[in-house]
Homo-oligomer: A and B are copies of this chain.
Amino acid sequence: MDLKQLLTQTPFHRWLGVELVRADEHEVEVYLPYREEFNGDDDAPHLHGGIIATLADIAACFAVISASGHDVPSIDLHVDFLRMAPCASLTAVGRAIKVGRTIGVADVEVRGEDGRVVAIARAKVATNAPGRDILTNKGS
């Protein structure tokens, strides 16, 4: 299985419509096309924080998966919402900061369609409870 296939093995990812744009050894880019259901308010035009946190979680996990070659469960997620996200698509770049024997750490930047950073996130994943092996650029 490769990373793109792995991303689609998740019912929530399929509903979100999230796509893997690229996966390098320590960095991935994921794209979330806009859906009206993502909106955070009927009147004010911005995305829900949970959508941004979800995308950050995905980008962080896939950055460590890309670096380690194994599926990994989340340990924690820390998101700083820097500005309201316009009701439009999002792009997140996740970068593996550390891939240790038990813990991996990744940083994420989430940007709106205009390229402005709407949130930054940092997450930890468990690398000692690896799931399925993944074909990464590194391993293939």
Contacts and interface: CB of A to CB of B under 8 A. Distances in A.
A54 B15 CA distance: 15
Given A12-B50, A48-B54, A50-B58, 17 more contacts: A9-B43, A10-B39, A10-B41, A10-B42, A12-B37, A12-B39, A44-B131, A51-B54, A53-B53, A53-B79, A54-B54, A73-B84, A75-B103, A75-B124, A76-B79, A76-B80, A80-B105
A77 B75 contact: no
Interface residues of A, number: 47
Could you say how many copies of this chain the assembly holds?
4
A44 B12 CA distance: 13
Interface in A1-36: 9-15, 36
Interface of A: 9-15, 36-44, 48-51, 53-55, 57-58, 73-82, 84, 97-98, 102-103, 105, 120, 122, 124, 126, 128, 131
